[in-house]
């Protein structure tokens, strides 16, 4: 990865004014390394409830535990209006494998369900440090396997199964795509990765360019990694760092979305390039003037909802391409 250190970014556009205002407020909050995971979760949860997208109506929302699984993993299932069978999208929330839950992803899942006309299965996978890697990976894979085998019960089409997530959830989504390819228990037709984590490293250009003043910091990522990984060497596993997988061919088409002012931008863009080099069909778009984690910032929804709607519309088109 060191060969990328000499690269420099040219600004696409300044931070959006709304993002600047948010960052000024954000900087008044304690940093993650000042908080325990439990206190960080409480602080993060305060924002989930304020997301106006939680008011978006879909035809049906139900909850259940992942059946016949050794630990309780909650699923929230969003069903659109219309005529089934629908495509099925398994969604994995962000939060650095330490924060987040079904509530965090609720607004995003409602938008994807309604606009992409798909059943969305949101997964409340286990978090660190109570349950370190590979617990979250195992939960994400098991939930996707269950959705593939019970799509008809969800009014879904088992031939139209996709995986999606944001940030750490996008990391898990990319990992599930690798596992599905290698294990052959189910097939995915698409992977939607929104500002994903793809590598256990901090030596990319974006880590240097956007280390201070843009929300997510390198110190935050150290905090997340320390709580997620059982030991640093685990970071070299492709089930943690899909960018380190020896072979990326044979994976489903990918939509990868990055934002301009994000320390994770470089590794996501490198992953997109490596997928393309391996023959995978990739759509990549970088949104200017924005920061990591915008899906979880309620006061930014006036400027970010058009982006989320675009992502949902692109997902619908990707799912339609694979209608049997």
Residues with a catalytic annotation lie at 167, 262, 292
Enclosing H/E stretch for 180: helix 168-183
Ranges of beta strands (E only) in 101-248 are 119-124, 156-166, 190-194
Burial class (CB in 10 A: 0-12, 13-18, 19+), 276: middle
Q: 300: helix, coil or strand? A: helix
Q: What is 89-131 written as a DSSP string? A: EEEE--STTTS--HHHHHHHHHHHHHHHT-EEEEEE---TTTS
Q: What is 27-69 written as a DSSP string? A: TTSPPGGGS-HHHHHHHHHHHHTT-GGGG---SEEEEEE-TT-
């Amino acid at each position: 990865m060191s060969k990328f250190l000499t690269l420099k970014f040219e600004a696409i556009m300044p931070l959006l004014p709304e993002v600047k205002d948010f960052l000024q407020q954000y900087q008044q909050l304690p940093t993650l390394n000042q908080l325990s995971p439990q206190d960080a979760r409480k602080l993060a949860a305060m924002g989930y409830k304020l997301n106006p997208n939680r008011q978006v109506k879909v035809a049906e929302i139900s909850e259940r535990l992942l059946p016949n699984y050794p630990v309780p993993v909650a699923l929230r299932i969003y069903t659109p209006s219309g005529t089934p069978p629908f495509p099925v999208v398994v969604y994995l929330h962000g939060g650095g494998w330490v924060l987040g839950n079904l509530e965090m992803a609720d607004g995003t899942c409602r938008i994807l369900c309604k606009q992409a006309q798909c059943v969305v299965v949101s997964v409340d996978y286990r978090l660190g440090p109570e349950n370190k890697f590979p617990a979250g990976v195992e939960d994400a894979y098991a939930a996707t396997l269950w959705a593939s085998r019970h799509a008809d019960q969800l009014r879904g089409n088992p031939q139209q199964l996709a995986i999606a997530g944001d940030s750490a959830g996008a990391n898990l989504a990319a990992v599930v795509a690798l596992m599905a390819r290698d294990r052959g228990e189910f097939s995915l037709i698409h992977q939607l990765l929104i500002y994903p984590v793809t590598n256990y490293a901090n030596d990319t250009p974006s880590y240097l360019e956007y280390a201070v003043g843009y929300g997510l910091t390198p110190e935050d990522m150290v905090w997340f990694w320390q709580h997620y990984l059982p030991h640093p060497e685990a970071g070299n596993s492709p089930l943690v760092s899909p960018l380190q997988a020896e072979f990326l061919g044979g994976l489903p088409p990918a939509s990868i979305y990055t934002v301009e002012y994000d320390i994770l931008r470089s590794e996501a863009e490198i992953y997109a390039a490596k997928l393309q080099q391996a023959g995978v069909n990739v759509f990549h778009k970088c949104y200017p003037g924005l920061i990591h984690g915008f899906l979880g910032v309620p006061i930014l929804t006036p400027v970010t909802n058009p982006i989320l709607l675009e992502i949902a519309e692109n997902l619908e088109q990707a799912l339609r391409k694979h209608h049997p």
